[in-house]
Chains A and B, each alone.
Chain A
Amino acid sequence: MSENTKQIPHAPMPTLVHCGHHKCLTVFVDRCFQKVLGGHFRNFFQDAAGFYEEHQRYAVTQTSDFLPDFSRLGDYKISRFIRDPRDLIVSGYFYHRRGTEAWTNQPRDQWRWQNVPRAMRADETYAQLLQRVDQEDGLIAEMEFRAPHFESMLCWPADDPRVKTWKYEDIIGREVEVMDAVGEHYGWPDDDDPFTLRAALRHFANRWKANDTLRAWDKHVRDPRPGQWRDVFTPKVQAVFAARFPDLIETLGYEPIARSRRTA
């Protein structure tokens, strides 16, 4: 459509955004909204600039790993899924190590992220890095890669009623209920009609939820169980994490780091 096309003014609807984090049900949410809204949904992933420029063209948008500038959203309703950052590290480490996503197979000179893990060599890809180093250093590399994401998690307002947060740990097993609550938070009415957005969201949440069937065929989901960091974090990983993100766990309301099984 031409940029010169005149636009007839209309009452804006609330900007509806789902903000998540890589390895925190982003694919699940993406699939649900794609099915419910089709082309009226768009996942911008970590593309903040594209998001600000085009979010108004969609009914619902999805972003990952950054805190939106609320002042650029007009009236907004944001659903936010968070996960224990230590589990994000574990899940991300094993997933990126497999090189499933294209960017993990790009050499460092094509690396589009600012957060380059220190151990990453100039001629290797991120997947190669994680395959080359041992698990402990791989987890630390993943931690470094995700540092900006974790730092953004600290900046979210705690008292904005337009932002509603759900924890991954509370979502697993209650996907249908939670996605319905997301629809409710967006202001979507719930009538006794299967065509409602809420009913459709429940339907597809039930289809795509992280059950055994999903894990069997979906390579994206390795293991959705929460708390896996306890089995994987070594004292060194814990120490690096605690030094780098001293307030993160408490701010997000998760258990302190001292209870790792590896330290018991």
Chain B
Amino acid sequence: MTSIAEVLKGLAALPEDWHAAGCLEMPNLEGLARHASTRKIRRSVETGTGKSTLLLSHLSEHHLCFSLDDAKSLGDGHSLERASGSSLLKPGVVEFVVGPTQRTLMAHTFSEPLQLVFIDGPHGYPFPDLEYFKLYPHLETGGLLVVDDIHIPTIRNLFNFLREDPMWCLLETVGKTAFFERTSAPTFSQSGDDWWLQPYNTRRFPVPYNDLNSLNDDSPVFMGAGETEADPAVYRKRLLPLLGRWASDGKRVAIFGTGAHTDFLWSALPELWRVNIVAYLDTKAENTGSTYRNVKVQTPEWTAENADVVLCSSFEHELTQMAFLDAMPSVKVVLSHPVTKLHAQFAAKAKEDREKAKAEAA
């Protein structure tokens, strides 16, 4: 039996131009091995073919690979031919479905749940989304969704959506590859609408539409290449348009948090001076009535009558903060920084709790 380490070693030895369209780099392959080897992968699906196919043949019991016949399209033998003929491919595991996924995948019927899905097919809009549409209902809880090439804007859109969706928990990104885990959140209906249930929509709605003839994009900006969560520029890009709107609308803003992260927020966004900050919120009873930056500290419940917006300010405690505010529909809750895997987990849990409560009430 070939060990995964040996397979990785073999993949590392392959020439750089082994795949005509570019190969997954070793750190990405190692990430794939790391996440997949901790799960029992009975069935997996991949769109596109390459070194990942060779690796997944050792990680999965049955791997279905939707591959373009690039020997025809490119005029010479490339990924499909090379993958299917490679000595690193574990025999009897991979089933190739040849042709454009726009046709082959869409026509395929999945009868068994999947434990791993790797989206690396055509990159143009709307093809990654189509692949996602076809595959997401079949990935079981705890399953791995891998999205490659998140540096391409069309795929970044998908990535941005997924990282906020309750069905997914972003485990990590390795270079241009993102690894998500399927949460226990209910599967989003493929035949309904329900856009208002998706956090990606609710957090942004309504997107300004009055000035669509200009090139200004007023929608929130998420982290791009080279940006980190502690980068003040990320906060400024995300929050400045919101602060401007709150100020012009005369919104009463409460900031949840009186710790180091709120200090950081102030240093990154001195424009907070221009916003009507009515309180800082703290769950510790002993802090109620004290002051922070010359403004009174209040309980989260206080916001129900006295604030329009709550800006949650904490890396570690935003989930707790959101939980406190979840019962106050009149208050708009905004996270100070882009959503991370924790938020996806929380969103899944919150949705689960809501549905449970709804079922109990019924």
Q: Interface residues, chain A, CB within 8 Å of chain B? A: 1, 5-8, 10-11, 13, 36-38, 40, 57, 59, 187-189, 191, 193-197, 200
**Looking at the complex, which one of B247, B282, B289 makes contact with A195 (CB distance below 8 Å)?**
B247
Name the CB-closest residue of A to B244: A195
Determine whether the beta carbon of B291 is less than 8 Å from that of A5. Answer: yes
Determine whether the beta carbon of A195 is less than 8 Å from that of B240. Answer: yes
Question: Is residue B266 contacting chain A, with contact meaning CB distance below 8 A?
Answer: yes
* A194 CA to B241 CA, complexed, in Å: 9
Question: Is residue B283 contacting chain A, with contact meaning CB distance below 8 A?
Answer: no
For B, the interface residue count at a CB cutoff of 8 angstroms equals 30
A8-B292, A10-B263, A189-B236 as given contacts; A195 in contact with B271, CB under 8 Å: yes
A195-B243, A196-B271, A197-B270 as given contacts; A10 in contact with B290, CB under 8 Å: no
Question: Is residue B294 contacting chain A, with contact meaning CB distance below 8 A?
Answer: yes
Determine whether the beta carbon of B267 is less than 8 Å from that of A13. Answer: yes
**Looking at the complex, which one of A5, A13, A189 makes contact with B266 (CB distance below 8 Å)?**
A13
Name the CB-closest residue of B to A12: B263
A11-B267, A13-B266, A191-B240 as given contacts; A197 in contact with B290, CB under 8 Å: no
A1-B291, A8-B297, A196-B240 as given contacts; A59 in contact with B270, CB under 8 Å: yes
Name the CB-closest residue of A to B246: A195
Determine whether the beta carbon of A8 is less than 8 Å from that of B287. Answer: yes
Besides the known contacts A195-B241, A195-B247, 10 further A-B residue pairs in the complex with CB atoms under 8 A apart: A5-B296, A6-B289, A8-B282, A13-B266, A40-B273, A187-B270, A188-B270, A189-B232, A191-B236, A191-B237
Determine whether the beta carbon of B241 is less than 8 Å from that of A193. Answer: yes
* A197 CA to B263 CA, complexed, in Å: 18
CB-defined contacts of A59 to chain B, threshold 8 Å: 270, 273
CB-defined contacts of B273 to chain A, threshold 8 Å: 37, 40, 59, 197
CB-defined contacts of B282 to chain A, threshold 8 Å: 8
**Looking at the complex, which one of A10, A36, A193 makes contact with B240 (CB distance below 8 Å)?**
A193
Determine whether the beta carbon of A7 is less than 8 Å from that of B291. Answer: yes
* A8 CA to B274 CA, complexed, in Å: 22
Determine whether the beta carbon of B271 is less than 8 Å from that of A8. Answer: no
A40-B273, A189-B236 as given contacts; A5 in contact with B267, CB under 8 Å: no
Question: Is residue B260 contacting chain A, with contact meaning CB distance below 8 A?
Answer: yes
Could you tell me the distance in whole angstroms from the C-beta of B259 to the nearest C-beta in chain A?
9
* Closest CB pairs A-B (n = 5): A195-B244, A11-B263, A6-B290, A193-B240, A59-B273
CB-defined contacts of A8 to chain B, threshold 8 Å: 258, 280, 282, 287, 290-292, 297
Name the CB-closest residue of B to A16: B270
Could you tell me the distance in whole angstroms from the C-beta of B100 to the nearest C-beta in chain A?
41
